[in-house]
Chains A and B, each alone.
Chain A
Amino acid sequence: MPEIRNYTLNFGPQHPAAHGVLRLILEMDGEVVDRADPHIGLLHRGTEKLVESKPYNQSIGYMDRLDYVSMMCNEHGYVMAIERLMGIEAPLRAQYIRVMFDEVTRILNHLMWIGAHGLDVGAMSMFLYAFREREDLMDCYEAVSGARLHATYYRPGGVARDLPDTMPQYEASRFRSKSQAAKQNEARQGSLLDFLEDFCNRFPGCVDEYETLLTDNRIWKQRLVGIGVVTPERAMQLGFSGPMLRGSGIEWDLRKKQPYEVYDQVKFDIPVGKEGDCYDRYLVRMEEMRQSNTIIKQCIEWLRVHSGPVLTEDHKVAPPRRAEMKGDMESLIHHFKLFTEGFCLPEGEAYAAVEHPKGEFGCYLVSDGANKPYRLKVRAPGFYHIASLNEMVQGHMLSDVVAVIGTQDIVFGEVDR
């Protein structure tokens, strides 16, 4: 009999199942993982340090690039920290727009997750379906901000501009016939809200489709049920938040428990898991997509009948309208000061947390009264989830490591910052 020894396996950083640039040092006993040592930081860009040398508004774009699949939720955490420190509030319409886009972002994120998670575990077709729907939502991003991913749409005191009345259209080309373009443009004839409403009516059917593919799929269940079980007590100890915490059976959602913006005005439920395994977390996220869909619908209804400003009228924080600036000395000064120097925050510190698709995304902002943050700490949910990887995979097979990484919904932009 040959002697069997433990050996060390290097996984990543260039591995499709590593979700970016995760390097894992795995100590294996045969095919069973003894210890996993994640090495992170390969995508560390020093966002928190860069932010310290720029005025507040110039850093909103950095927030998009933290968790690059849930862009607007990151911005939300950052602008909320600024707003809390300044004591300003966004107009009601802006709050509804923010909630709507937070939920659009949640669906975007969960679609990315289900696609990647499916791909990791061997369900190739999930990826294609998920990206079909993502396309529509990214068009909403584009319509409202001009960018499909890194929107930079939220501002301290509201959002950059109001919802557009038209949607971008497809054009016929060598690759897209006229009739095909016309078909794709069918839903895009009205405003953004019309397009999004059409999406919301379609989307529950799409989630049903995903569920037919996965929920009772024998292979899917074999790969997920009973894998990476975390007890509720342990989940709290490990600093879990979001679907990871709810998957372990703790009913905790900042949107309900510490409501911000207008989350206390909309109706939705919090799905909670029972077993705390990968399959439960899958079910929780699937239900979250349905719930987000209903929130978006409620926001659309409200936004259709209520108009109003979307950015605060306080010109010490938000610039005046361009037309005003051209004719009014006061506005010109405000405009000049805002774009050359920015605004100063009162001295103090604030921690603003939002229910990000991955968990609690918090921004801890220390200000010494300057026009730049003295210190910004981003509390990224994924950071704490990946930290627990060792504990979650111990005793599991190598192939389950991939399932656990998938269920943690890791994105390296926010883990490394």
Chain B
Amino acid sequence: MNEQKTQDFAEQLGALAIEGVTDIVVDCGEITATVDPASLIAVATQLRDELSFEQLMDVCGVDYLQYGKDEWQTDSAAAGGFSRGVSGSSVGRLSFGDEVDPLADGEPRFAAVYHLLSIKHNRRLRLKVYATDNEFPVVPTVTDIWACADWPEREAFDLYGIHFEGHPDLRRLLTDYGFVGHPFRKDFPLVGHVEMRYDPQKRRVIYEAVSIEPRVLVPRVIRKTTRKNTTSAVVADDSSADTAKGDA
């Protein structure tokens, strides 16, 4: 989509001042609106009926538990040199029962992200809804507004344990029958908890504690890149709006 059109639409959206929309950001030519979970239904209905976002393209869960955490200090060297990045708690290194540092108080952990598409106006919009409770994340369902939200919400429930209130049929979707836990959470080890095999004595498939060693070849590194893409905020003030795209 055309950059100017996106910017115009973001401003139009900001001018509407829809109740429940707390923040509108334009980044990489895409608009992200943060929405209060309590007013999601009203906002979504208004977006569909008045701004003709007929299609919901995607619903996706995100777990912010380890956001911005790296395993390798890159900005300062200690007396022993730079850290080697072999210890860390990124999800690939976890094994069964490992603890992960909790988030700071008041920081939301789970978010549901909705990607909307308006075929009539040829526009896209991203809604982000942070669940208020980190222990039992609840977000209202949008299945009554877009019928296709049914399965992706089930998926987000399955993988992240986000409960979509009012969903007609909130069952697990992708994981095995009888699976325990929510595998895409950042405190769920990459190797999993159980493995299965056929037991010739019992003559059936059995589950056992996982025997794979967690192994990560490349540590997680965060570097401050000089590269900056076009970012501008409509509601919040941001000075980086003029930084042009590198070689666009």
Check B90–A379 contact: CB distance below 8 A. Answer: no
Residue from A236, A368, A370 having most chain B Cβ neighbours under 10 A: A370
* Cβ-based interface call for B225 (8 A): yes
Q: 9 additional contacts, CB 8 Å, given A53-B216, A364-B115, A369-B68?
A: A88-B247, A314-B247, A347-B68, A349-B28, A349-B30, A349-B126, A364-B113, A368-B222, A379-B60
Contacts of A374 in B (CB 8 A): 66-67
* Cβ-based interface call for B84 (8 A): no
* Cβ-based interface call for A89 (8 A): yes
Can you offer 6 A-B residue contacts whose CB atoms are under 8 A?
A53-B91, A236-B54, A314-B247, A351-B30, A362-B115, A364-B113
Find A369's partner among B152, B175, B222 (CB 8 Å cutoff): B222
Check B124–A387 contact: CB distance below 8 A. Answer: no
* Cβ-based interface call for A348 (8 A): yes
Contacts of A379 in B (CB 8 A): 57-58, 60, 115
Check A87–B245 contact: CB distance below 8 A. Answer: yes
How far apart are B236's CB and chain A's nearest CB, in angstroms? Answer: 14
| A239-B56, A388-B148 known; A348+B119 contact, CB < 8 A | no
Name the segment of A40-48, A170-178, A190-198, A327-335 touching the other chain: A40-48
User: How long is the Cα–Cα vector from A129 to B243 in the complex, in angstroms?
Assistant: 54
Contacts of A383 in B (CB 8 A): 151-152
Contacts of B247 in A (CB 8 A): 87-89, 314
* Cβ-based interface call for A62 (8 A): no
| In the complex, per-residue mask of A325-361: 1 if CB is within 8 Å of any chain B CB, else 0 | 0000000000000001110111111110100000010
Contacts of A250 in B (CB 8 A): 119
How far apart are A125's CB and chain B's nearest CB, in angstroms? Answer: 36
User: How long is the Cα–Cα vector from A87 to B91 in the complex, in angstroms?
Assistant: 28
* Cβ-based interface call for B45 (8 A): no
* Cβ-based interface call for A29 (8 A): no
Check A346–B229 contact: CB distance below 8 A. Answer: yes
Contacts of A44 in B (CB 8 A): 174-175
* Cβ-based interface call for A291 (8 A): no
| A368-B68, A369-B225, A370-B70 known; A348+B27 contact, CB < 8 A | yes
* Cβ-based interface call for B134 (8 A): no
Find A88's partner among B66, B152, B174, B246 (CB 8 Å cutoff): B246
Check A258–B122 contact: CB distance below 8 A. Answer: yes
Find B218's partner among A237, A340, A417 (CB 8 Å cutoff): A340
Check B174–A41 contact: CB distance below 8 A. Answer: yes
How far apart are A86's CB and chain B's nearest CB, in angstroms? Answer: 6
* Cβ-based interface call for A145 (8 A): no
Residue of chain B at shortest CB distance from A52: B91
Within 8 A of B (CB), among A30-84: 40-41, 44, 46, 48-50, 52-55, 58, 84
Check B176–A41 contact: CB distance below 8 A. Answer: yes
Contacts of A94 in B (CB 8 A): none
Check A341–B218 contact: CB distance below 8 A. Answer: yes
Find A370's partner among B148, B174, B176, B220 (CB 8 Å cutoff): B220
Check B248–A89 contact: CB distance below 8 A. Answer: yes
* Cβ-based interface call for A238 (8 A): yes
A-B CB proximity, top 3 nearest: A239-B148, A53-B92, A41-B174
| A44-B174, A52-B91, A416-B174 known; A342+B218 contact, CB < 8 A | yes
Check B28–A348 contact: CB distance below 8 A. Answer: yes
Check B58–A362 contact: CB distance below 8 A. Answer: yes
Q: What is the interface residue range for chain A against chain B?
A: 35 or more
Binding site for A on B (CB under 8 A): 1, 27-30, 32, 54-58, 60, 62-63, 66-68, 70, 90-92, 113, 115, 119, 122, 124, 126, 146-148, 150-152, 173-176, 183-184, 190, 216, 218-225, 227-231, 245-248
Check A341–B230 contact: CB distance below 8 A. Answer: no
Contacts of A55 in B (CB 8 A): 218
* Cβ-based interface call for A366 (8 A): yes
Check A252–B119 contact: CB distance below 8 A. Answer: yes
Check A87–B248 contact: CB distance below 8 A. Answer: yes
User: How long is the Cα–Cα vector from A83 to B104 in the complex, in angstroms?
Assistant: 32
Check B229–A348 contact: CB distance below 8 A. Answer: yes
* Cβ-based interface call for A377 (8 A): yes
Check B174–A40 contact: CB distance below 8 A. Answer: yes
Check B173–A40 contact: CB distance below 8 A. Answer: yes
| A53-B90, A369-B225, A384-B151 known; A364+B248 contact, CB < 8 A | no
How far apart are A10's CB and chain B's nearest CB, in angstroms? Answer: 13
Residue of chain B at shortest CB distance from A86: B227
User: How long is the Cα–Cα vector from A342 to B222 in the complex, in angstroms?
Assistant: 11
| In the complex, per-residue mask of A210-240: 1 if CB is within 8 Å of any chain B CB, else 0 | 0000000000000000000000000011110
Within 8 A of B (CB), among A358-417: 360, 362, 364, 366, 368-372, 374-375, 377, 379, 383-384, 387-388, 416-417
| In the complex, per-residue mask of A240-274: 1 if CB is within 8 Å of any chain B CB, else 0 | 01000000001010000110000000000000000
Check B28–A49 contact: CB distance below 8 A. Answer: no
How far apart are A195's CB and chain B's nearest CB, in angstroms? Answer: 33
How far apart are A25's CB and chain B's nearest CB, in angstroms? Answer: 12
Contacts of A257 in B (CB 8 A): 122
Contacts of A58 in B (CB 8 A): 218
| A41-B176, A236-B119, A368-B222 known; A362+B57 contact, CB < 8 A | yes
Check B224–A369 contact: CB distance below 8 A. Answer: yes
* Cβ-based interface call for A26 (8 A): no
Check B183–A46 contact: CB distance below 8 A. Answer: yes
Find A341's partner among B56, B62, B216, B221 (CB 8 Å cutoff): B221
